[in-house]
């Protein structure tokens, strides 16, 4: 019996007519939905068309076509010790803020068709099916995106499963792989959220160091008159001041950083794929740096993946988990424009 059943029995015994009536309060804004609308608006501004695909999917499309093995879900044994049950639940628990590379699906008990065998654990198959259904009907390049829920097993929750909010974007063109397009969309999205790439910070720091080094080298030499020395100091300050101010403004405004790490996923071409790791900016209270979380992947799809979805043109795909940003960003930054 659930807590709500007990509350219902108590209310019936007490009498619904005897319960006091209060004016209902305004429901708080769902920040995840507001943030999802903001992400939708960003992709639409970039010229992408939104797709809405089914939540239910086949095992072949969700695993085999993506180069993954269909996982076997371990069942709870009545003879298992409490420690074994605890360890099994820990292995079947997920971090909701992290992108799931090998999620366990929620299967339907009595599926009537092979097309709807379990809930999707990725948005990529639905996007690729949409591209296949629209090839030849729309002009290239074809740019699609989707923001929606995936469902996976998580024993740490009350119902044993969890929904995660993902976003996925795909670029298909016969003349280009579109990898630079997808990379640019990722950088633009992260910039709109005030997340700065680590390589961008490194480039800014290098530019400041180079400007200072050039100015110091130019300022050396024999002793000069006070007026000339002052003019050179002012010229030196003006030379590297813009780079320094830009770096300071970037560090003050940013909410976090992200980096791209080479990956080896079967769905993508080797050497043309990355994992996206991000972390929140250290807070002023503790000052400790957080361990970067895997929030997504992007790359050029492998020919085997394209063939499995009956596609004959290069496609690049980006997929992100949006859950972490609702924990990292202030509420005002999660609102849609």
Beta bridge partners of 57: 118
Contact 168, 186 (CB under 8 A): no
204 and 326 assigned to the same domain: no
The pLDDT value given to residue 111? 86
- In tens, the pLDDT along 127-163 reads 999 999 998 888 899 999 999 999 999 988 888 899 9
Cα gap 65→301, rounded to integer Å: 11
Residue 3 has pLDDT above 70, yes or no: yes
What is the number of residues in the chain? Answer: 337
Rounded (10°) angle between helices 226-253 and 198-219: 170
The pLDDT value given to residue 8? 92
Does residue 153 form part of some domain? yes
Residue 68 has pLDDT above 70, yes or no: yes
39 and 140 assigned to the same domain: yes
Domain range for 250? 195-214+241-254
Does residue 268 form part of some domain? no
Half-sphere exposure of 154 (CA within 13 A, CB side): 17
Does residue 40 form part of some domain? yes
Provide the pLDDT confidence category of residue 124 given band limits of 50, 70 and 90.
Answer: very high
Q: Answer with the residue of higher pLDDT: 119 or 224.
A: 119
200 and 329 assigned to the same domain: no
Residue by residue, DSSP assigns 229-252 as: HHHHHHHHHHHHHHHHHHHHHHHH
**The pairing of beta strand 293-301 with beta strand 161-172:** unpaired
The pLDDT value given to residue 10? 92
- In tens, the pLDDT along 212-235 reads 676 655 555 444 455 555 555 555
The pLDDT value given to residue 262? 96
- Mean pLDDT score, 117-135: 94
150 and 205 assigned to the same domain: no
The pLDDT value given to residue 222? 46
Contact 296, 320 (CB under 8 A): yes
Does residue 285 form part of some domain? no
The pLDDT value given to residue 232? 56
% of the chain with per-residue pLDDT over 70 = 82
Does residue 159 form part of some domain? yes
Tally of structural domains, the chain? 2
| 3-state SS assignment for residue 317 | strand
Q: Answer with the residue of higher pLDDT: 281 or 9.
A: 9
Cα gap 213→260, rounded to integer Å: 30
% of the chain with per-residue pLDDT over 90 = 55
Contact 154, 89 (CB under 8 A): no
The pLDDT value given to residue 85? 56
Residue 81 backbone dihedrals phi, psi, to 5 degrees: -75, 160
- In tens, the pLDDT along 280-318 reads 987 666 666 778 999 999 999 999 999 999 999 999 999
The pLDDT value given to residue 321? 97
Contact 265, 284 (CB under 8 A): no
Does residue 157 form part of some domain? yes
Mean pLDDT value across the chain: 85
- In tens, the pLDDT along 265-276 reads 999 999 999 999
Beta bridge partners of 276: 260, 296
């Amino acid at each position: 019996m659930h807590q709500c059943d007990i509350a219902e029995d108590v209310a019936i015994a007490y009498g619904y007519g005897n319960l006091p009536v209060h004016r209902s309060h305004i429901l708080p804004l769902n920040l995840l939905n507001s943030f999802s609308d903001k992400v939708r608006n960003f992709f639409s501004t970039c010229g992408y068309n939104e797709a809405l695909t089914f939540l239910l999917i086949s095992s072949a499309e969700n695993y085999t076509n993506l180069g993954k093995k269909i996982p076997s879900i371990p069942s709870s044994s009545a003879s298992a010790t409490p420690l074994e049950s605890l360890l099994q639940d820990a292995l079947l628990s997920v971090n909701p803020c992290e992108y799931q590379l090998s999620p366990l699906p929620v299967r339907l008990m009595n599926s009537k068709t092979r097309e709807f065998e379990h809930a999707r654990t990725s948005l990529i198959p639905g996007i690729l099916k949409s591209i296949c259904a629209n090839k030849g009907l729309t002009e290239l390049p074809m740019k699609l995106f989707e923001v929606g829920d995936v469902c996976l097993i998580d024993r740490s929750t009350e119902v044993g499963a969890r929904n995660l909010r993902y976003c996925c974007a795909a670029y298909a063109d016969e003349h280009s792989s579109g990898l630079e397009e997808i990379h640019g969309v990722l950088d633009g999205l992260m910039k709109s959220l005030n997340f700065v790439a680590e390589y961008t910070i490194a480039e800014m720091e290098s530019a400041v160091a180079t400007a200072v080094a050039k100015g110091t080298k130019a300022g050396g030499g024999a002793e000069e008159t006070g007026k000339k020395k002052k003019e050179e100091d002012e010229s030196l300050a003006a030379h590297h001041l813009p780079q320094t101010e830009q770096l300071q403004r970037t560090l003050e405004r940013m909410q976090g950083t992200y980096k791209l790490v080479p990956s080896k996923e079967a769905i993508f071409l080797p050497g043309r794929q990355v994992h996206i790791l991000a972390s929140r900016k250290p807070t002023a209270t503790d000052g400790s740096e957080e361990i970067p979380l895997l929030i997504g992947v992007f790359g050029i799809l492998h020919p085997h993946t394209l063939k499995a979805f009956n596609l004959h043109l290069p496609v690049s795909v980006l997929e992100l988990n949006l859950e972490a940003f609702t924990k990292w960003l202030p509420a005002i930054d999660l609102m849609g424009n």
